[in-house]
A and B are shown apart, each in its own frame.
Chain A
């Protein structure tokens, strides 16, 4: 191997230090995961932990194959997904216009701000038992819980986004003859969009939580229902598969909203 030595040359680093920083951090993360999985795999075999409680990576992979190929996974996933989609969709349809009203009307704000903030801060899961009493143990009560979980972050953030509107932009628009409706459509709405999306991102997490906890509480089907079934059967491997499914879903949806946010925020870098 030929090395060129100049007066400014640093001594060549050894080991992983030779890689560029990005590659090095990727390698270190990768190794950490490998080490973790390996420990997880051998720990029950060596008797360090009880395998009944910890399961093993290979068993989890096996369980995943079983879950995805049989076990009515699609049926349960569809139930949970429908509950989420319905509750979240309803929340979206209602919360954005509602937030816009609160953002633009002082009277509306004074009227309902305190109870709204109380509901925003309190975990809406508190209302779960009431929803079950009102709507039964079927899908409707979960739809309601998702709806309640999702609506408040969106309302509150939409309201804030409208209220933080740049007064200079409103004044400029008015000087060119913009009506109240024009200002709303062309200044307030686009200006509030990043806040609305931030609210939606928060709402995704709350909605997913609502579905799962709602089904855990009482249900006949759905991902949460499966968690109850395998929980009482002590099937740690399958529980981990479902946990993974739920977190991947929530993460993916959050990332989609984040992507939209970053696109909308481009112009905000001013």
Chain B
């Protein structure tokens, strides 16, 4: 149902000052099968977030196509929900209000909105904080609300843009496991952007490695680790091998960047 098919996608921005354009994503083709969890890693500026926002319908594409469940993307749609980086919650609404807001914007009409919102909040374990405002919550809790908001609208595709990027290492680990637990319930098609290699391997069915200047796909690595996964899978020899390969990929990208800098 929720297959994402990207073919020959190029995204260019007009530069604000001066002439010319900036190519954020260059000729990217990628398929995320229905029910697959795919992570995208790459150093900052490799276009991974831009790619995700394009699938969300929030960024205009220049060439190529994106299809979700066989239909081309023209803008945001009810088949997709995004979990953003920090601070995308309305600060003047409570946790419940924020999750409800998403349902209201989706013109959700089936059943009681509060009840549905509460169920999503329970799923991320925040039921006793439903009446709190975002500023009263920790960063990790806010991201749980972000996830609850996306889950509440029951999308076919879940798009996550470095959702744990602003969290400390411990919280990040806990959140990763939590996300796996939630995802394994109904296995929605999911795309997860991160710059954390461990996170990318732990979560993924396959990892997409992106490089920069301009943003392109360097490699797609299938992750053959048994599910359901727990955090301790990170100690397995297989995991360590995946991580080593990913790291060397990214390191070569960084090295290239340094060479470019020195050349300039």
A4 within 8 Å of B (CB atoms): no
A78 within 8 Å of B (CB atoms): no
Nearest neighbor of A171 in chain B, beta-carbon distance:
B58
B164 within 8 Å of A (CB atoms): no
Q: How far is the CB of B96 from chain A (nearest CB, A)?
A: 15
B76 within 8 Å of A (CB atoms): yes
Q: CA separation between A267 and B98, bound complex, in Å?
A: 13
CB proximity to B under 8 Å, residues A183-223: 186-187, 190-191
With A177-B78, A177-B105, A270-B134 as known contacts, state yes or no: A171 contacts B88, CB within 8 Å. Answer: yes
Residues of A within 8 A of B133 (CB): 266-267
Q: CA separation between A268 and B89, bound complex, in Å?
A: 12
B56 in complex: contacting residue of A173, A175, A178, A187, CB < 8 Å? A175
B153 in complex: contacting residue of A168, A171, A174, A176, CB < 8 Å? A176
Q: How far is the CB of A261 from chain B (nearest CB, A)?
A: 14
Nearest neighbor of B106 in chain A, beta-carbon distance:
A177
Residues of B within 8 A of A266 (CB): 133
A182 within 8 Å of B (CB atoms): yes
Stretch at the interface among B26-34, B66-74, B79-87, B235-243: B79-87
CB proximity to B under 8 Å, residues A25-63: none
Q: CA separation between A187 and B88, bound complex, in Å?
A: 11
Q: How far is the CB of A67 from chain B (nearest CB, A)?
A: 45
Summed over the interface, the residue pairs from A and B with CB atoms below 8 Å come to a total of 63
A244 within 8 Å of B (CB atoms): no
Residues of B within 8 A of A264 (CB): 92
Q: CA separation between A5 and B76, bound complex, in Å?
A: 73
Nearest neighbor of B133 in chain A, beta-carbon distance:
A267
- Chain A contact-residue range equals 20 to 34
The number of chain B residues with a CB under 8 A from chain A is 27
Q: CA separation between A166 and B90, bound complex, in Å?
A: 10
Q: CA separation between A264 and B78, bound complex, in Å?
A: 32
Residues of B within 8 A of A234 (CB): none
A172 within 8 Å of B (CB atoms): yes
Nearest neighbor of B94 in chain A, beta-carbon distance:
A267
B244 within 8 Å of A (CB atoms): no
Nearest neighbor of A168 in chain B, beta-carbon distance:
B88
Residues of B within 8 A of A166 (CB): 87
Q: CA separation between A128 and B178, bound complex, in Å?
A: 67
Residues of A within 8 A of B107 (CB): 177
CB atoms of A270 and B91 under 8 A apart: yes
CB atoms of B76 and A174 under 8 A apart: yes
Residues of B within 8 A of A232 (CB): none
Q: How far is the CB of A168 from chain B (nearest CB, A)?
A: 5
Residues of B within 8 A of A177 (CB): 76-78, 105-107
Q: CA separation between A180 and B82, bound complex, in Å?
A: 19
CB atoms of A176 and B88 under 8 A apart: no
CB atoms of A176 and B92 under 8 A apart: no
Nearest first, the 10 A-B pairs at minimum CB distance are A172-B88, A270-B135, A176-B105, A267-B91, A175-B82, A176-B102, A178-B105, A267-B92, A177-B105, A168-B88
Question: 16 A-B contacts, Cβ less than 8 Å apart?
Answer: A168-B84, A168-B87, A169-B88, A173-B101, A175-B57, A176-B81, A176-B153, A177-B78, A177-B106, A186-B105, A191-B92, A267-B133, A267-B135, A268-B135, A270-B91, A270-B135
Given contacts A175-B76, A176-B101, A177-B77, 5 further A-B contacts (CB under 8 A): A175-B56, A176-B81, A177-B106, A268-B135, A269-B135
Residues on B facing A (Cβ under 8 Å): 56-58, 76-78, 80-82, 84-85, 87-92, 101-102, 105-107, 133-135, 149, 153
Residues on A facing B (Cβ under 8 Å): 166, 168-169, 171-178, 182, 186-187, 190-191, 264, 266-270
